[in-house]
Amino acid sequence: MGAILSISINTFREAIRNKIFYALAFFALLIIVTGHFFADISLHNEKRVLWDIGSGLISFFALALSIFTSASIIHKEIDKKTIYLVLSKPVERWKFIAGKTLGLLATVYSVITAMLLIFIVEMLLTGVSPGVNIFKAFILIMGEVLLVVSVSILFSSFSSPFITGMMTIGAVFIGRMLPDLKQILFMKYEHDFWRNLAESLLQVFPQLYLFIPNGHDFNGYHVSITTDFVTWGFIGWSMVYTLTYSCVILAIASLILSKRDLT
Amino acid sequence: MAHLPLEIINLEKSFGTGFLNLKKVKPVKGISFEVKEGEIFGLLGPNGAGKTTTLKMITGLIFPDAGTISIFGKSSLSASSRKRIGFLPENPWFYEYLTAREFLKMTGGIFSIPSSEIRQRTDSLLERLGIAHAADTQMRKFSKGMLQRAGLAQAIINNPDFIILDEPLSGLDPIGRKDVRQLIIDLKKEGKTILFSSHILSDVEDVCDSVVILNSGLIKQKGRLSDLTATSAGTVEIQTQGPEMKLSDFPEKLRDSIQIESISRGTRLIFTEENANKNEILSFLIDAGQNIDKVFKHNRSLEDIFMENSSESKQQEN
């Protein structure tokens, strides 16, 4: 555990000492403060607008920070050869991946928790009760961050930061649009074989739509953060999914790194 | 039975280069050697000889194609084999946003050393390596010499039994080199085993007990440094006091083998033991009424051995 903890603390330090990260985090906090201006100009929909904007912005910046901080995470260590100082010690390569992942999660979770706290204060000042749904939405966002960070670390274990960033953004788009893509493919292919094949292939992508249920239909009912939000059971299963998927993805990343010569 | 710090048997490594990695280069072509406990072992060779590749295989950064590496009896493929070693890579890169103290705390944490002990060791190492004044400065502001010292500190933070240093003297100024050489000697006195690579031969000669000379991925020479430099071709110098001697004073059979020159109070003779018998010459000089002032034996220098092996390899390649 000592190695994983040390690597994760170092990863956290690296992120929070990065000026670009600061700029992004500051911008995220600033923009959430402006949420109530949009609420003010809405007609009797202040609560819904504030909730939608707040949760949407937290989700957006969580993804942006996840991709920004994780795209170069492994490649940079190899490129700058700092990885030599770690892996020449009694550290299995999976521990390096685990430490990096935990450090990144701590970084992104810190920023989005700060965003959430500001958002709650903003709601209270505007006279809107935070309610339990905002916490449910926050837990789902945390799950989505774990998935995106894991996918990005997998790509980072064998490709450059630019390619990793592009592939992760692609995976996020596909993951968020999976229900629509399924429908399109079902309309396009009539034969069961092709439909099953297409569905199986889509299963490989992270099912990110599960983590932004607000405004979508699930099991026949419309989910809204201001009224009927998802149940705790749904959140529980989403977390089981995100943990399982992330563990598999990170195991593959560890396997790739463990076979790699660090020249 | 106590295991050797390092035992390498038939080690080979190749890398793919060019389009689709189809072209193969083989920097290490089947080398075997061992490092004994408590010795300072030098891994020598020109650039591209395979030194760094070998050290990276020992430290688990790259994997051998064939052969085995045992560190205190454990395969280098297992991470646990690195518990008792410390490693300084060549031209190390650092987490430049960390201070030296944070960096050592991180490396100590990797070894699961308790926090209080890390603090104590950090203070003592920073002091020992002369960078205590910069303990809380981010390493991006360090000079090359300070970085090398920070690298050495992380290599010994775990109080390792076996220390591996890849070109530890490169890029250092004369004072830095002297300090690092002294540190290596001090570590040996503390009972540590040290393996270091270098192409600065005078530094190696000063501190090493044993060496391996690599060239083009093959071992060209290995053994105790004293044995290697003592073997054959030694040059002998005799200084005498007495009447000045000329070459014509010597028996004819010796004249082609020796060089002589006048010195302030006598004569200096230089010859190689291969070409002339030292005892025979000494007897002749005494009989000729000369007082033997000094007799030196100049061993082959490490540089001589190194250059011989380098030129042999170049000839074979051509």
Whole-Å CA distances, A138 to A51, A58, B117, B235, B302: 12, 8, 40, 82, 68
Q: If residue B164 lies in a helix (H) or strand (E), which one and from where to where?
A: strand B162-166
- Check CB contact under 8 Å for A6 and B92: no
Tell me whether B80 touches chain A (CB under 8 Å).
yes
Tell me whether B26 touches chain A (CB under 8 Å).
no
Average pLDDT of chain A? 86
Q: Please tell me what DSSP assigns to residue B84.
A: T
- How many Cβ atoms from other residues are within 10 Å of residue B247's Cβ? 12
Tell me whether B15 touches chain A (CB under 8 Å).
yes
Band the pLDDT of A47: cuts 50, 70, 90: confident
CATH architecture group of domain B6-230: 3-Layer(aba) Sandwich (3.40)
ipTM of the complex: 0.81
pLDDT score recorded for residue B1: 63
Angle at A131 between CA A128 and CA A137, to 5 degrees: 115
Query: Which candidate from B60, B97, B112 shows the least CB-CB separation from A17?
Result: B97
Tell me whether B109 touches chain A (CB under 8 Å).
yes
Tell me whether B206 touches chain A (CB under 8 Å).
no
Angle at A83 between CA A81 and CA A86, to 5 degrees: 135
pLDDT score recorded for residue B310: 66
- Check CB contact under 8 Å for A88 and B61: yes
CB distance B199 to B47 below 8 Å: yes
The C-alpha atoms of residue B91 and residue A177 are separated, in whole angstroms, by 47
Whole-Å CA distances, B154 to B13, B73, B160: 28, 24, 11
pLDDT score recorded for residue A146: 95
Return the domain boundaries, chain B.
6-230, 235-298
Q: Which residue has the tokens 């935070």?
A: A130
The whole-number average pLDDT for the span A198-223 is 77
**Which residues on adjacent β-strands are paired with residue B213?**
B44, B221
Q: Which residue has the tokens 């001589």?
A: B304
Query: Which candidate from B60, B79, B95 shows the least CB-CB separation from A14?
Result: B95
Query: Which candidate from B82, B85, B109 shows the least CB-CB separation from A2?
Result: B109
Q: If residue A9 lies in a helix (H) or strand (E), which one and from where to where?
A: helix A2-16
CA distance B97 to chain A (A): 7
Residue B115's closest chain A neighbor by CA?
A2
The full length of chain B comes to 318
Q: CB under 8 Å to B187, separation ≥6 — which residues?
A: B156, B163, B194
CA distance A7 to chain B (A): 7
- Compute the count of residue pairs across chains A and B with CB atoms less than 8 Å apart: 85
The C-alpha atoms of residue A72 and residue A200 are separated, in whole angstroms, by 30
Residue ranges in chain B modelled with pLDDT below 70? 1, 230-234, 299-300, 308-318
Whether domain B235-298 has CATH 3.40.50: the reply is no
CA distance A236 to chain B (A): 34
User: Which residue type, as a one-letter code, is found at position A226?
Assistant: T
CA distance B161 to chain A (A): 13
pLDDT score recorded for residue B280: 87
Q: Please tell me what DSSP assigns to residue B249.
A: G
Q: Is the pLDDT of residue A212 over 80?
A: no
- Check CB contact under 8 Å for A261 and B95: no
pLDDT score recorded for residue B313: 59
Query: Which candidate from A5, A13, A82 shows the least CB-CB separation from B109?
Result: A5
Chain B environment of A9 (Cβ under 8 Å): 106, 109
Percentage of residues in chain A having pLDDT higher than 70: 93
Predicted TM-score (pTM) of this structure: 0.83
pLDDT score recorded for residue A108: 92
The whole-number average pLDDT for the span A185-213 is 81
Dihedral sign (CA B150, A262, B220, B271): negative
Chain B environment of A3 (Cβ under 8 Å): 109-110, 112
CB distance B76 to A89 below 8 Å: no
